[in-house]
Structure 1
Amino acid sequence: MNVIDIKGRVVDENGKPVPGVTVAVKGTNKQTITNEKGEFTLAGVEATATLTFSSINMEPFSLNVSGQSEIIAKLKTKTSELDEVQIIAYGQTTKRFQTGNVSTVKAADIEKQPVQNPLLALQGRVPGLVVTQNSGVPGGGVTVRIQGRNSIRSGNDPLYIIDGVPYPSQLPTTGNDGVFGTSSNDGNGNPINGYGNPLNYINVSDIESIEVLKDADATAIYGSRAANGVILITTKKGKIGQMKLDVNLQKGWGKVANKWDMLNSRQYLDMRYEALKNDNIDLSAQSNTDANYYDLLAWDTTRYTDWQKTLIGKTSDYLNLSGSVSGGTNTMQYLISGNYHKETTVFPGDFNDQKGALHFNINGASPNEKFRLQFTGSYMVDNNHLLITDLTRAAVQTEPVAPDLYNADGSLNWAPNALGNSTWANPLVETLRKYKNVTTSIVGNTILSYQLFQGLDIRGSLGYTRLLTTDFQALPLNYTSPENRATGLRGAVYGDRDLNSWIFEPQIVYKKSISRGKLDLVTGGTIQENNSEAGSVVGIGFNSDEVLENKTSATQLFPGGQYIVKYKYSALFGRFTFNWADKYIINSTWRRDGTSRFGTSSQFHNFGSIGGAWIFTEESWIKKQKAFSFGKLRVSYGTTGSDQIEDYSFLSLYNFWSAPGLPYQNSIGTYPNGIPNPYLEWEETKKLQTGVDLGFWSDRVIVNITHSRNRSSNQLLPFALPSTAGYTYLNRNFPATVQNTTWEFYASSSNLKTKTLEWATTVNLTIPKNKLVAFPDIETSSYSTGFGGVIIDQPIGIIKTLHSLGVDPSTGKFHYADKKGNSTSSPLFPDDYTVLMKTLPRFYGGIQNSISYKGLELDFLFQFVKQLGTNYSFNSLARLPGQFSAGTSNQPVTVMDRWQKPGDLAQVGYFTTGYNGYMTSDESYVDASYVRLKNVSLSYELPAKWLQAVKMKTCKVSLQGQNVYTLTKWKGLDPETQSIYSLPPLRVLTFGLKVGL
């Protein structure tokens, strides 16, 4: 028998070493594991033996020795979803070995959606994540919640990390908001226009993947910044290969997807005349100069205008052009990309939002690959020339008999009465307001690393972010009604904000294979400083509309809102991960945080987590079964925290007081701003999660089930003060505890896979529950009163309301149940407010299908939400049916089901110009659940042989749709926004061409 000693090396398809591979001699008990360099040795092996190579991440491989003493084995990487790389805090892993709760959305799915905020690409795709689009205006606000709402009042936004650098979760105000009485927020406080979510300033085309970190195992290493979860955004990097040029063009259009059935002219007039009759008002005895009767006596009642078509019915234009150049060698890779985006609105006029972006990445390494450098940067300029006032409310509420928008000479029609007074505020007057907003976003990170010896690296990263905004808004003289222009003043506000931050994080990374185990250690520190400055200047007394942008042309200038804030943060952190035999995994993290938002006695706090996973299908006693191809149990517990309150709350500060006409003797005064509280402490969230991950039929079907229970305590809340204190509130900690429990279900299936045809499906479902677990002495606090008070064992945001008994058939008045259940038309507050309405989603999720045949690919995503919403048939828009105030009096057609005579069984009380007993009740809320065809993408990639003649590498044409169709019983413009103050998400259709050279 010829016996030899074998030395070998295992590499992947790219020639890179593969550590942790089990190398065994077939038919014997002899085996070993490759080291960090992929090397192995086996002594005393028969020259004719067969070696088998196995690893969870690689395809099984066999090799006949054939007398060779030196062997190189090349393995193929498994294509299972379980082995896809997942980015985590300060590192990466795979789904197979992940001990935490992390969801990933790749560029392939992001690029199929014509959206300009990357958060919108996550809707319906991630269990445990709720993303709500607050407005369909370009750059509109987006609300994000990961596994529910943890805080009663303070910030609930997640932490955003872009290429390792923290990015703002909210935009600071410029002091320019609401100066002229119309805020840049809608009536529900939802940001519109340029004041939306900061992620609007990140170019979607540059993103490689987005990871959503949810449990303590995944987030605790970020400490106090991660109580509400973490969203990691990784941008595209250069790759080894020849230089490649990619160009992508998308052209499309957007429309309001749904029209709300409002009263036409005949119905509106019937409502008004009936209201006058019910109130015994003789219309012939009224004057056409009385503002209460403009619609009936001063306006042309034969007119009809479809205001939804007129004010929000235009087709918006969508243009997106991007290009990139990339390539590199083993020691140097690069990527440079650019993007231009322009989007108009559905409002009248020439309004648009334009963005220009640059992105670059350079990866370098020394010849021996011990020293590495990575430099990544993203730059965007957003020019916002949008209408500052959303016209959706006017489109819904303006009376169908309202005057024409224009006079015969083309000027705006103010419809003056006999006295020369305007009888309405022409909605197009808002198009005369001048508004410009320019925002510059910069994100950059430099990472240096050096390998001291095999397995030990030292690295340091220096990151920088900046959001710089300048904006201008003005009221020209023609914004004022004609009768007031003689005494009116032109005015303008010039605002700016500058939020910049730098962060330095040194780290030590150690990796070691120990027998059949793999050890991974990370330790490091964080030093971060945020600087925020914002302010505005108010100018009045301009002599011409043409000089409004020039502040020196004002006769008077006054400082508006101004502030300068510095926030400092520091931390030490570490992570310990040990994987034994790809079977048992333990992961532990810790962090000690320091913040400048608390006094010296509470500036520092410790956070940490421990998580474990057991891949039970690697046990010898279960490997022979055929039910599972993969099975893993995981559990984690840990703490995160929050310091999301106003800066300097623990100090006694003074503010400057100044406004137009108010300085005393030309001096700016100061006044104390709040009572200091040096005893403020961190909010703390304790997270417990358990889960099971299963694979079936060689991992063709993957199922994940996760249960989480998060408890947030030591709540940071404003404490209401008596009026005699001179201040309205004091920030302090309350011993209240908010609990969120969540069931998350995720399944992916490769339904069909042949050489030419593939069909895959993913499904996710989340069942959340939120409640206030404890709040000692809640009865004596301000949080137990009012419509939005909190209640033990009930969700945060619970609404206390009346129980409706409907319309009294004998009187036509709304009746309600008092606390004893008796009928009354005059319920008492708060005694009779006994019904609790839960408006948080009951469950939500999505279903995605991807079908490809040769070069043709079809992908479609359905999003679904089960929830309650506002019932506008009962919850009045601005006026009760029959009341009138110009521009706000139209009603949904459902109000025609009203009481007219004794004995009528109606949903709506009698029409009146006064009051019919209507009050908000449980009947003001209705099922607002919906199923939405969120995205459809159809593409065709031309065969390579067709492209050779024109020297192209790739060419793909595509058709994409967003918010294509919504199935719902809810009555209104959109069940997601449920607002008459903001534009609903638009239905967008785009055609695309992507070329690779």
Structure 2
Amino acid sequence: MNAAPYLLMSSSEILKFESFFQQQISGTVRDQNGVPIPGVNVIVQGSSNGTMTNLDGEYTIVASVGDTLVFSYIGFKEFKVQVNDTFTGEVTLESSVDALEEVVINAGYYNTTQRERTGNIVKVSAAEIEIQPLTSPLLSLQGRMPGVELSQAGGVVGQAPTIRIRGRNSLRMQGDYPLIILDGVPLDASPINSVGEFGRSSGMDPLSTLNLTNIESIEILKDADATAIYGSRGANGVVLITTKRNIQTKVETAVQARIYIGVSQVSHKMDLMNTREYLSIRRQAFENDGVTPSETNAPELLLWDQNKDTDWQEVFMGHSSPITDINLSLSESNENTSFLIGGSYHTEGSVFPGDFNYQKATANLNLNHSSNDKKFKLQFTSNYGTDQNHLFSGTNFVNYARRLPPNAPAIYTEDGSLNWEGWTISDNPLAVLNQPVEIETNNLIANLQLNYEVLEGLSLRANFGYTHMTSQEVTRNLQESFNPDDWDWIELNSFHSDTKRNSWIIEPQVDFSKDFGQLELNMLGGATFQENTTTNLFLEGIGYSDDNLVGNLNAAEEIRVSTDRKITYRYAALFGRLGINWYKKYFLNLTGRRDGSSRFGPNRRFSEFWAVGGAWIFSEELFLSKLPFLSFGKLRASYGTTGSDQIPDYGFLDTYEVTAGPGGLFPTSPFNPNYSWEINKKLEAALQLGFLEDKINLEVAWYRNRSSNQLTGYPLPAMTGFTSVQANLPATIENKGWEFIVSIAPIQNKKFYWQTSVNFTVPENKLVKFENLEMSSYRQTYKIGEPLNIAMLYKFDGIDPETGRYRILDANGDGRYDFEDRIITQPLGRQYYGGIHNNFRCGNFNLEFLVQYIRQDGYSISQITTPPGLYGNTTRDVLNAWQQQGDPEDIQKLSQSVYSLLSYNEAMNSDLVVQDNSFLRLKTLSVGYRFPTGFLDHLGVRELNLFAHAQNLFTLTDYKGLDPETGNNIPPLRTFTAGLQLNL
């Protein structure tokens, strides 16, 4: 057609000309099964002209010949068609599961997807877990999730880590454990008590017997929408651990072997003084005090070799710890049945001197079966683990490593026995090697889930769970652990602990799902019946006649029982959920639970918890169709209540203790029938955005949790006859903050793939209410408007130029130092934290690394180092100790006087010792190679991968101690491993 006449037309003539070619197009949009799809967006590409299909999938739109119509609807591939004379208006859309829809999220009692979830649930997959050479599954989450604080007590395997989800909710340090569920079975996550070294640290990790390679995913549930269905157990968040169901679903039989070996070492050492520096400091201290050194108060100056220079850090924690891990599994499946059976063996040594080691063996079974008509389904999982721990926390070795003078005597004599000569101030550091600790733990976790579809959409379910855990510990103090000069009067002894934890749970449920056009309803109702039984027995055997008999209680002259108790905890609940999905754009989730717990008084034993959550996928609205860069947008919010019953059992009962005289009892705590639940009210709002076909994803969440009705011991006046009563304090704790997740996949093709994700958390914790705080015993611990983790400190006032000693401010001028002078309120802990994870794939090569960052304030190394001038090594900073006016005032004048020690102790309770303990750590680094399929076909192998991994590779920090995370304990070990994975 000649365009010239067209260009000469007026605007009104052009409109008439175009309308001649426009036509009204009508039709129906169906899916691949021929079912009409209501709510489909239909637009004319490049224009604002659009419409939406009605409930019968019908639409009508005006378009011109040559225009392109675009049909789009969530869950289906976008369809484009050009209008021509043959176009009938009938359209069939193909289903399409996008990246967000593919990510299935375990919400506990039901499953959802990343796209449709209304609550705050974050997930870590098996690929991120199994590459890490760890024994605790919780430690695999470090740096990978916003709102989740995880810290190690030390670098020794078997120690329980600390996990907090969205801050500290309780005045009790033991009241912040999250609920941990493995395949539907709740686990007791509290550390196992120990009579040995672990008891003086964090306790033992009850989850260390799990096999990390057998874990499919770990989900963390945080807000009210996600946790309220767990009621009283969800106040501190929920950790859901799901084990693997199958190795490869596309084959009938599959065998997998995964093996790696490696070595661990201490990742950082302190900068301590050498012999020359140390001796000069000691001589200066004696000179400043005007005291003459003697063989008693200064053996390093008069008795010990002045030229000997030993790196005690190398001696006590400089060894290499070998690691070996072997995993084997077999899976098989047919149309109705599949199973996975596996086993593993893990062993590692120690960085300390001596024959220390840790061994773990696990076995797992997962069985799935369905009837021919698929109405009946059965799933059984069983995980068994046993470990033998011949380790200890190493606190003694760490203390010796940083305090022993570098010219201290040799530890061994020429004949290889322990040297006791010359150790005039302390005993031989390696005497502890003759105090062996043996810990054996056995853990069985089993779960059976039954499901029967009564009618279409209506199913009956039942969940049965059982756990049985035993932990036995023996510490033997042999004769060689004592100085031979004391052998005439010492008594050989042993300490024994026996802990058993048994639990069962039964949860009958009914589930109903039904689609009413574009309205989808999901309803769930159920009940929980649970019982936990815990027994603790702590014994001491005394008076053994020979080392060979130590530990055999039958050979002891006396057996003392320090603890013998049995605790039974019962719990029952009713719960329900209603999920509404309208047009796959509008979501509403209602959950509720009524709980009853044996831990509370008879007047307040039951309570209700609930939540409402909603989400709107606004990117599916027609008015946003002109934003091609926005591929996904969702607003969600939730509010509700959860509770906490994490208190000692029988706390509401009156208690008695035995009097000093025979046959007498006296009361220690009165009966409190109104002892009740802590209540945590949770509010959250969040925005999720996807850009450029979801190559860039952003999630921003704001939350506020308020925990009230605090459970703790309330002090009573002496006139009542009791010291305290277990009660609910009128106190409220608030945790609020911002959480950010950014995921970017800028390059995605067959040759090269790059994906990076960043998580970032800005938490805020404070005590917002505490009635009569100033009149309670907690006034020296907490302040309203301040975080729970605070230090009330003196104000450091420099160094007195006349004495050279530390000086603190007498705030009220009364001539003495007491609590009234502690005018500095210093928040401790994290201000913000996060992690950066990168994954690169080029051909068959893969590179992955995780960087963890924590901004925090804490105590400096000064609090745990030797006072300036006293016996014992310390950091080189002491070389810059104050000598005269004008010198730096960080370290007082070298001295051993009582007055100097008093001023030192006061300064250690001032703001002098608070510093920035932030750190950046390369947490993980992995390199892998996947052999090409063509090569494997010749070997008859389905898959073969080689990999190498580094853990805790380096840490950047201003902290001068061993580690800003573990403080005075052994730091997280630097670990290197290499191995292979073979699938047949």
TM-score normalized with structure 2 length: 0.90
- Give me the whole-angstrom Cα distance separating, in 2, the residues matched to 1:41 and 1:694: 30
Give 1:155's aligned residue: 175
The answer to which of 453-462 and 300-309 deviates more is: 300-309
| Closer/same/farther in 2, CA of residues 583 and 501 from structure 1, 3 Å limit | same
Deviation at 1:624, TM superposition (A): 2.5
| Closer/same/farther in 2, CA of residues 117 and 10 from structure 1, 3 Å limit | farther
One-letter identity of the residue aligned with 1:816: I
Aligned residues: 933
Deviation at 1:818, TM superposition (A): 3.1
Which of 933, 939, 946 is the aligned partner of 1:944? 933
Which of 695, 700, 704 is the aligned partner of 1:705? 700
Give 2:475's aligned residue: 473
| Closer/same/farther in 2, CA of residues 26 and 933 from structure 1, 3 Å limit | closer
Give 1:295's aligned residue: 300
CA contact (8 A) 1:629 1:699 kept: yes
1:500-899 equivalences under 5 Å are: 500-654=502-656, 672=667, 674-722=669-717, 727-785=722-780, 789-819=781-811, 828-872=817-861, 874-877=862-865, 879-884=866-871, 889-899=872-882
Which of 370, 377, 381 is the aligned partner of 2:375? 370
Give 2:389's aligned residue: 384
- Give me the whole-angstrom Cα distance separating, in 2, the residues matched to 1:196 and 1:59: 52
CA contact (8 A) 1:899 1:908 kept: yes
Deviation at 1:670, TM superposition (A): 6.5
One-letter identity of the residue aligned with 1:264: N
The answer to which of 20-29 and 403-412 deviates more is: 20-29
Question: CA offsets, 1:61-91, max 9 Å, x none?
Answer: 6899x999x999874532x145411110201
| Closer/same/farther in 2, CA of residues 647 and 30 from structure 1, 3 Å limit | closer
Which of 329, 336, 346 is the aligned partner of 2:351? 346
CA contact (8 A) 2:511 2:525 kept: yes
Q: Which runs of 5+ in 2 are unaligned?
A: 1-26, 45-49, 60-67
| Closer/same/farther in 2, CA of residues 33 and 861 from structure 1, 3 Å limit | farther
- Give me the whole-angstrom Cα distance separating, in 2, the residues matched to 1:443 and 1:125: 27
**Over aligned residues, Cα RMSD in angstroms?**
3.0
The answer to which of 225-234 and 616-625 deviates more is: 616-625
| Closer/same/farther in 2, CA of residues 56 and 115 from structure 1, 3 Å limit | farther
One-letter identity of the residue aligned with 1:777: N
TM-score normalized with structure 1 length: 0.89
1:337 matches 2:342: yes
One-letter identity of the residue aligned with 1:123: Q
Q: Which runs of 5+ in 1 are unaligned?
A: 12-16, 35-39, 43-49
- Give me the whole-angstrom Cα distance separating, in 2, the residues matched to 1:52 and 1:540: 85
Deviation at 1:929, TM superposition (A): 0.8
- Give me the whole-angstrom Cα distance separating, in 2, the residues matched to 1:588 and 1:20: 27
Give 2:276's aligned residue: 266
Give 2:409's aligned residue: 403
Give 2:64's aligned residue: none
1:211 matches 2:219: yes
The answer to which of 397-406 and 215-224 deviates more is: 397-406
Give 1:412's aligned residue: 418
Give 1:324's aligned residue: 329
Give 1:94's aligned residue: 113
- Give me the whole-angstrom Cα distance separating, in 2, the residues matched to 1:214 and 1:506: 25
- Give me the whole-angstrom Cα distance separating, in 2, the residues matched to 1:423 and 1:298: 12
Deviation at 1:538, TM superposition (A): 1.8
Deviation at 1:300, TM superposition (A): 2.9
Which of 238, 243, 265 is the aligned partner of 1:235? 243
The answer to which of 102-111 and 669-678 deviates more is: 669-678
The answer to which of 798-807 and 205-214 deviates more is: 798-807
Which of 915, 918, 922 is the aligned partner of 2:911? 922
Deviation at 1:744, TM superposition (A): 0.3
CA contact (8 A) 1:263 1:893 kept: yes
- Give me the whole-angstrom Cα distance separating, in 2, the residues matched to 1:844 and 1:677: 41
Q: How much identity, in percent, do the aligned residues show?
A: 38
| Closer/same/farther in 2, CA of residues 814 and 710 from structure 1, 3 Å limit | same
1:184 matches 2:194: no
- SS across alignment from 1:241: coil
- Give me the whole-angstrom Cα distance separating, in 2, the residues matched to 1:462 and 1:893: 60
CA contact (8 A) 2:613 2:637 kept: yes
| Closer/same/farther in 2, CA of residues 177 and 757 from structure 1, 3 Å limit | same
The answer to which of 956-965 and 321-330 deviates more is: 321-330
- SS across alignment from 1:237: coil
CA contact (8 A) 1:89 1:219 kept: no
- Give me the whole-angstrom Cα distance separating, in 2, the residues matched to 1:185 and 1:893: 32
- SS across alignment from 1:184: helix
CA contact (8 A) 2:74 2:620 kept: no
Deviation at 1:556, TM superposition (A): 1.9
Query: Quick check: which has more Rg, 1 or 2?
Result: 2
Give 2:155's aligned residue: 136
Give 2:65's aligned residue: none
One-letter identity of the residue aligned with 1:369: K
CA contact (8 A) 2:927 2:949 kept: yes
1:245 matches 2:255: yes
- Give me the whole-angstrom Cα distance separating, in 1, the residues matched to 2:108 and 2:501: 24
Question: CA offsets, 1:771-806, max 9 Å, x none?
Answer: 110111111000102xxx100100002111012122
One-letter identity of the residue aligned with 1:122: L
| Closer/same/farther in 2, CA of residues 146 and 827 from structure 1, 3 Å limit | farther
One-letter identity of the residue aligned with 1:869: G
- Give me the whole-angstrom Cα distance separating, in 2, the residues matched to 1:721 and 1:297: 56
| Closer/same/farther in 2, CA of residues 334 and 61 from structure 1, 3 Å limit | farther
| Closer/same/farther in 2, CA of residues 708 and 772 from structure 1, 3 Å limit | same
One-letter identity of the residue aligned with 1:907: D
1:280 matches 2:290: yes
Deviation at 1:729, TM superposition (A): 2.8
- Give me the whole-angstrom Cα distance separating, in 2, the residues matched to 1:9 and 1:340: 51
| Closer/same/farther in 2, CA of residues 882 and 528 from structure 1, 3 Å limit | same
CA contact (8 A) 1:765 1:843 kept: yes
Deviation at 1:536, TM superposition (A): 2.4
| Closer/same/farther in 2, CA of residues 23 and 791 from structure 1, 3 Å limit | closer
CA contact (8 A) 2:156 2:392 kept: no
- Give me the whole-angstrom Cα distance separating, in 2, the residues matched to 1:335 and 1:90: 23
- SS across alignment from 2:252: strand
Which of 168, 191, 194 is the aligned partner of 1:171? 191
| Closer/same/farther in 2, CA of residues 548 and 54 from structure 1, 3 Å limit | farther
- Give me the whole-angstrom Cα distance separating, in 2, the residues matched to 1:769 and 1:208: 32
- SS across alignment from 1:992: strand
The answer to which of 903-912 and 931-940 deviates more is: 903-912
Which of 193, 198, 202 is the aligned partner of 2:206? 198
1:110 matches 2:129: yes
1:444 matches 2:446: yes
CA contact (8 A) 2:41 2:51 kept: yes
Question: CA offsets, 1:847-872, max 9 Å, x none?
Answer: 11111011100001110010112212
- SS across alignment from 1:851: strand
Question: CA offsets, 1:960-993, max 9 Å, x none?
Answer: 0111111112211111112x2x211001110011
| Closer/same/farther in 2, CA of residues 177 and 670 from structure 1, 3 Å limit | farther
- Give me the whole-angstrom Cα distance separating, in 1, the residues matched to 2:609 and 2:107: 17
Question: CA offsets, 1:462-488, max 9 Å, x none?
Answer: 011122111111111121111111111
- SS across alignment from 2:198: coil
- Give me the whole-angstrom Cα distance separating, in 2, the residues matched to 1:971 and 1:899: 20
| Closer/same/farther in 2, CA of residues 573 and 615 from structure 1, 3 Å limit | same
- Give me the whole-angstrom Cα distance separating, in 1, the residues matched to 2:299 and 2:622: 86
1:949-964 equivalences under 5 Å are: 949-964=938-953
- Give me the whole-angstrom Cα distance separating, in 2, the residues matched to 1:361 and 1:51: 50
CA contact (8 A) 2:30 2:36 kept: no
